[in-house]
Structure 1
Amino acid sequence: MFLNRLSMNEKQAFLTLAHHVAHADSEFSVEEEVLIAKYCMEMQMDDIEYDEAKFDLVGVLNAFERDSHQKIALLELMALVYADGEVAKQEQQLLNDIIVHFGLNPNLAIVYREWSKNILSLFTQGEALIHL
């Protein structure tokens, strides 16, 4: 929804981070795959090759220099985490690590989580309306 505001470097970092989050629980769900494809369309770029062995969380997170861009990444990642209706411990831990790294207030993260859930619900309702 807001990913078009990121720089090209941040977009690459975001896709790497999104793949890492989606694979954190060792299950890459259809819902996560679909959402990552939508992220790519929104950012007008091809998907990346994700290599867990080369993943560096701190390095990827450091790509987001602006406070607003950090918040965009967190909002979008929360939508990804909640896309399949299940939040694995590994996914929640990653979100917590990201919140700490970005120095965000944990209470703000609660608001972001609820917003993400609402957006996903509205998207699902919109899809249903299309098929009425």
Structure 2
Amino acid sequence: MKVTITGVEMFLNRLTLTEKEAFLQIAHHVAHIDDDFSKEERIIIDKYCMEMQVDDVFYDPEQFDLAAVLEVFQEDSHKKIALLELMALVFSDGHMHRAEEGTLEEIVERFGLNPNLAVVYKEWAKSILSLFVQGEALIHL
């Protein structure tokens, strides 16, 4: 089942402008890594831009350097915000592709975060998406 969400993005406004641009680069990378840039992923990236009050960035997969982009994030709380928001993006199309999972694992490692945190964040993202689906169903009862 694919889910279109409009209200999951909540924390990105806390990032610096440089971090916001880096986050969008990472979001595009994650959304394109499985060779299926879905409508749901496009909608979420558009929502990210609205929340952060920035224009979308140009993403060139040939020039993208994940390690360099991740260096922008210095504060642990900002690293966690990026990871949490990326989880919602990954699950927006209903599943996590192996390439997405590998990229998220690399992000966790490069950020120096506890891998168990990623498990909790995955469950949070799935719960939020589930609640959104339930809300949509309630509207149409």
Q: Which position in structure 1 is the counterpart of 2:33?
A: 24
Q: Are 1:80 and 2:112 matched, yes or no?
A: no
Separation in structure 2 between the aligned mates of residue 38 and residue 82 of structure 1, nearest angstrom: 15
Moved more, 26-35 or 6-15: 26-35
Unaligned stretches of 5+ residues in structure 1: none
Q: 3-state DSSP class of the match of 1:52?
A: coil
| Cα distance between partner residues in 1 of 2:138 and 2:49 | 24
Q: Give 3-state SS (helix, strand or coil) of 1:77's partner.
A: helix
Structure 2 Cα separation of the partners of residues 131 and 44 of structure 1: 31
Please state whether the residue corresponding to 2:59 is helix, strand or coil: coil
* 1:124 Cα deviation from its structure 2 partner: 2.5
In structure 2, the gaps of 5 or more residues are: 1-9
Which portions of structure 1, spanning 4 or more consecutive aligned residues, are displaced by more than 6 angstroms?
none
Seen in structure 2, the aligned counterparts of structure 1 residues 17 and 113 have a Cα distance that, compared at 3 Å, is same
Q: Alpha-carbon deviation of 1:73?
A: 0.2
Shift of 1:13: 0.1
**Alignment-mate amino acid for residue 112 of structure 2:** G
Identical aligned pairs, as a percentage? 64
| TM-score scaled by length of structure 2 | 0.89
Distance in 1 (alpha carbons) for counterparts of 2:140 and 2:18: 37
1:123 aligned to 2:127? no
User: Following TM superposition, by how much is the alpha carbon of 1:86 offset from its aligned partner in structure 2, in angstroms?
Assistant: 1.9
- Matched position secondary structure for 2:62: helix
In structure 2, the residue matched to 1:10 is: 19
User: How many residues get paired?
Assistant: 132
2:54 aligned counterpart, secondary structure? coil
Between Structure 1 and Structure 2, the one with more helix by share is 1
> Deviations along 1:16-60, whole A, 9 cap, x unmatched?
000000000011011111111111111011111111111010111
How far apart are residue 128 of structure 1 and its match?
3.5
Normalising by structure 1, we get a TM-score of 0.95
Give the alignment partner of residue 105 of structure 2, picking from 96, 107, 110.
96
